[in-house]
């Protein structure tokens, strides 16, 4: 718009385009409520809303709209089914949003980012910018993918769960029984979870019990989540305290025009969601979702004998949004869960293993929430500030019965972690070519925890860890995206953080470059240094009266990644990503094969030092066909090798070195019914992956142990592996669209093959053998959903 010689031509072109589109959509004017696509168009770098953008449906050119001064658009009377949206504006590359599903029960909200065209007018590149090619974070160069809520609802095995959906991406492995995900052979607990820009505790039901860093399924509902970013390596400078990957999740805003509700009942639980305006004139809105477990409901009303077990869970998610004319936008958000698990002792005549004589009780709480203020300055800068708090609490105990059926304590756990977080960032598009984002985060970490455990059944409890107090973690960053040429972009920046508990500090460079070779091919490379502090309980492990790990430094890593992307056809893309990850300063046990890189237990009882190392290298690939003409497909794979060295300086396989992961997804949708208003869909996913590794069993030491607890030969750690795993998931659904509402009947079957996830070994008193144990979580979730 600054090219003076062409200013008049540009103005006339905008007027003509706006007038033409307004005339095209005039028949829909005034119709509110159903078969609607609404959303906002923003500049991808500055995040500023873009006015006067033409938004049209490619399959129906007569359906379209023009964004208002706040970048908002509404397209009414849209045909039911899938659509592709095109956003066009003078000075910006056209942007395409594919696979937008319109139903009669609720509006479809879409956020469309646009890339400014920095070329002269007579050299404008007219190739549309497809939304799936670009993560939300403009600073991301490699190893990033946008997480789509629509995909979470559609992909087989997704189960409306962000973690389970992510396991279909290249380089990511999961188990059939949990949603803990391993990226490039790293342990699940090394993944960072963020919500609305704030790091949050593990947001999964029954978190960390069966696998550290995972749970049974997510407490975050697809009813409230918006499009988010998932990183598998070499992430931008704004992400600190992470060495494996980052799941940066967002909540969408509620409908500010009218109320919408949804009710869902299934084997997994009962959901209710609602959204709507708080004040229509001011554009404020609310969004809320609550879920209660079906198992908990069945147990409470006594409809079914749970065989001595109680599995009860519930979760709540919400967001309130308050835009203002002059003071920016204020929002309040929150997510939380409550989990209860109780296992009574079974009949002693059925005891086979040394843990059959126990009864356990666990209650977990997780809450995260805060307030955010966003303000656009007249010069184009965006100031975003947040105050948030997170809270995690667990009370758990395990008791055992001796030979005369007297209960004896075996384990007692009380853990509370609470963070108070202040976060501020400033983003400014300095020139059309250069954007900067800088920020600072202050975290006050409060903890009160202790764990007592008996060395053997029947022996007194001893302290494993104990700590109470507070400390601070401060981090800051500055990151630049420089589009030095229309086909060449450089992203670079620094991240720094400091942990007050032991005065650990680090400064880390990040850099990435992307070269658009031609309209169909691109090449990118990135490097970054990363670090991560340990979970608070690790610092307060006690041997005698001494906290032996208080001085542990950060685990650190170098990430290197390349990305080659090619558009084979209009809706078919190929991406190949070789990578290398070098870890150092890893906490290990002196003279032992132990390393935190393999940790999967919820507690730690070892003295550690920062002398360990790790390395992971391999190649990821993705071949994806976007949904068109009712069907889509995706083939992802990863071939990799993940090794570590412990305190004995011997290099070995990591626990999660599966060597290969292959995913195949396919789905088909049919519009059926008299007026083709209903949708029938079938989705299938197959996963083939190597088994996890484990250490050889020392049979003699196991027999000699007072409780016959299985003992492993740690001198040959992780030299054995479980069998390869074949997992199959499928989803079948039928959606009925009526006037003002929609019904959906579905079956979403996770792990239909019944493949077991193994967690270790136990000694069988009846047979005298040591057996692998685990669980085959195979759940065909029959559900009914009503949207109105």
pLDDT tens, residue by residue, 58-90? 888 789 999 998 899 999 989 998 899 999 999
Helix (H, G, I), strand (E, B) or coil at 216: coil
CATH superfamily of 172-787: TonB-dependent receptor, beta-barrel domain (2.40.170.20)
CB 454 within 8 A of CB 355: no
The mean per-residue pLDDT over the stretch 732-745 comes to: 92
How far apart (Å, rounded) are the C-alpha atoms in residues 155 and 732? 10
Q: What is the pLDDT of residue 308?
A: 67
How far apart (Å, rounded) are the C-alpha atoms in residues 444 and 390? 10
Sequence spans of domains, the chain:
4-133, 172-787
**pLDDT tens string 94-108:** 998 888 889 888 888
How far apart (Å, rounded) are the C-alpha atoms in residues 185 and 617? 9
Q: What is the pLDDT of residue 164?
A: 86
How far apart (Å, rounded) are the C-alpha atoms in residues 310 and 120? 67
109-113, 153-157, 216-220, 303-307: lowest mean pLDDT where? 303-307
CB 69 within 8 A of CB 51: yes
Q: What is the pLDDT of residue 773?
A: 87
The mean per-residue pLDDT over the stretch 372-387 comes to: 94
Angle at 381 between CA 376 and CA 383, to 5 degrees: 65
Tokens of residue 740, six digits: 């003002």
Tokens 């629509």, located at residue: 150
**pLDDT tens string 478-537:** 999 999 998 999 999 999 999 999 999 999 999 999 999 998 999 999 999 999 999 999
Q: What is the pLDDT of residue 31?
A: 35
Q: What is the pLDDT of residue 35?
A: 85
Q: Which residues contact 714 (CB under 8 A, 6 or more apart)?
A: 592, 593, 594, 695
Phi-psi region of 96 (alpha: psi -120 to 50; beta: other; left: phi over 0): beta
Give the burial string for 536-572 (b: 16+ CB within 10 Å, else e). bbbbbbbeeeeebbeebbbbbbbbbbbbbbebeeebe
Q: Which residues contact 173 (CB under 8 A, 6 or more apart)?
A: 167, 181, 182, 656, 658, 661, 689
Give the CB-side neighbour count of residue 190, counting CA atoms within 13 A.
28
DSSP 546-575: EETTTT---EEEEEEEEEEEEEEETTEEEE
How far apart (Å, rounded) are the C-alpha atoms in residues 262 and 783? 13
Decide if pLDDT at 374 tops 70.
yes
CATH superfamily of 4-133: Carboxypeptidase-like, regulatory domain (2.60.40.1120)
CB 273 within 8 A of CB 261: yes
**pLDDT tens string 285-297:** 999 999 999 887 7
Same fold yes or no, 4-133 and 172-787: no
pTM above 0.75, yes or no: yes
How far apart (Å, rounded) are the C-alpha atoms in residues 256 and 237? 34
């Amino acid at each position: 718009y600054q090219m003076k010689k062409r200013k008049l031509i540009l103005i006339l072109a905008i007027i003509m385009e706006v007038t033409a589109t307004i005339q095209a959509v005039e028949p829909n004017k005034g119709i509110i409520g159903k078969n609607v696509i609404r959303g906002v168009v923003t500049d991808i770098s500055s995040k500023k809303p873009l006015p006067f953008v033409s938004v049209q449906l490619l399959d129906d050119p007569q359906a379209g709209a023009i964004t208002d001064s706040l970048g908002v658009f509404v397209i009414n009377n849209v045909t039911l089914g899938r659509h592709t949206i095109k956003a066009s504006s003078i000075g910006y590359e056209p942007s395409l949003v594919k696979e937008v599903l319109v139903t009669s029960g609720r509006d479809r909200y879409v956020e469309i980012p646009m890339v400014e065209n920095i070329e002269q007018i007579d050299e404008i590149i007219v190739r549309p910018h497809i939304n799936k090619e670009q993560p939300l974070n403009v600073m991301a160069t490699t190893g990033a993918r946008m997480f789509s809520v629509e995909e979470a609802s559609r992909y087989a095995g997704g189960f409306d769960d962000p973690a389970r959906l992510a396991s279909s991406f290249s380089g990511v492995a999961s188990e059939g029984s949990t949603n803990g995900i391993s990226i490039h052979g790293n342990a699940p607990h090394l993944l960072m979870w963020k919500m609305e820009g704030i790091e949050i505790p593990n947001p999964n039901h029954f978190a960390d019990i069966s696998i550290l860093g995972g749970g049974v399924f997510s407490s975050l509902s697809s009813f409230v989540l918006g499009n988010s970013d998932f990183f598998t390596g070499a992430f931008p400078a704004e992400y600190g305290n992470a060495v494996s990957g980052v799941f940066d999740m967002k909540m969408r805003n509620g409908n500010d025009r009218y109320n919408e509700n949804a009710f869902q009942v299934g084997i997994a639980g009962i959901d209710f969601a609602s959204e709507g305006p708080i004040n229509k004139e001011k554009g404020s809105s609310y969004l809320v979702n609550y879920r209660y477990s079906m198992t908990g409901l069945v147990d409470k009303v006594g409809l079914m004998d749970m065989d001595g077990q109680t599995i009860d869970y519930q979760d709540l998610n919400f967001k309130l949004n308050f835009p203002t004319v002059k003071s920016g936008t204020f929002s309040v958000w929150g997510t939380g869960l409550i989990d209860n698990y109780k296992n009574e002792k079974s009949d002693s005549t059925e005891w086979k293993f040394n843990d059959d004589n126990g009864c356990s009780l666990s209650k977990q709480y997780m809450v995260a929430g805060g307030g955010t203020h966003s303000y656009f300055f007249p010069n184009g800068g965006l100031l975003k500030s947040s105050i948030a708090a997170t809270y995690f609490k667990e009370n758990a105990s395990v008791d055992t019965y001796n030979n005369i059926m007297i209960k004896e304590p075996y384990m007692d756990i009380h853990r509370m972690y609470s963070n108070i977080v202040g976060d501020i960032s400033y983003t400014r598009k300095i020139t059309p070519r250069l954007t900067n984002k800088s920020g600072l985060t202050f975290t006050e970490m409060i903890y009160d925890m202790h764990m007592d455990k008996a060395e053997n059944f029947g022996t007194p409890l001893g302290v494993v860890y104990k700590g109470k107090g507070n400390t601070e973690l401060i981090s800051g960053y500055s990151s630049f995206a420089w589009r030095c040429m229309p086909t060449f972009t450089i992203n670079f920046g620094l991240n720094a953080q400091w942990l007050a508990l032991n005065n650990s500090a680090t400064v880390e460079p990040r850099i990435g470059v992307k070269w658009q070779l031609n309209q169909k091919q691109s090449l990118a490379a990135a490097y970054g240094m990363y670090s991560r502090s340990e979970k608070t309980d690790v610092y307060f492990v006690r041997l005698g009266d001494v906290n032996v790990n208080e001085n542990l430094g950060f685990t650190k890593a170098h990430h290197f990644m390349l990305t080659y992307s090619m558009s084979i056809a209009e809706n078919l893309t190929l991406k190949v990503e070789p990578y290398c990850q070098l870890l150092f300063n890893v906490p290990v046990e002196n003279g032992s094969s132990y390393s935190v890189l393999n940790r999967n237990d919820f507690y730690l009882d070892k003295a550690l030092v920062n002398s360990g190392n790790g390395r992971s290298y391999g190649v990821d690939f993705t071949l994806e066909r976007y949904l068109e003409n009712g069907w889509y497909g995706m083939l992802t794979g990863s071939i990799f090798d993940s090794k570590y060295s412990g305190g004995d300086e011997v290099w070995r396989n990591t626990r999660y070195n599966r060597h290969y992961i292959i995913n195949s997804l396919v789905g088909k949708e049919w519009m059926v019914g008299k007026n083709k208003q209903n949708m029938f869909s079938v989705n299938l996913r197959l996963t083939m992956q190597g088994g996890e590794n484990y250490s050889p069993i020392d049979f003699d030491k196991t027999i000699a142990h007072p409780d016959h607890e299985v003992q492993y030969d740690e001198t040959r750690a992780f030299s054995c592996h479980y069998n390869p795993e074949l997992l199959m998931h499928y989803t079948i659904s039928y959606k009925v669209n009526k006037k003002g509402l929609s019904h959906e009947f579905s079956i979403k079957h996770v792990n239909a093959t019944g493949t077991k996830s193994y967690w270790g070994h136990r000694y069988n008193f009846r047979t005298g053998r040591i057996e692998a144990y685990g669980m085959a979580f195979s759940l065909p979730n029959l559900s009914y959903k009503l949207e109105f």
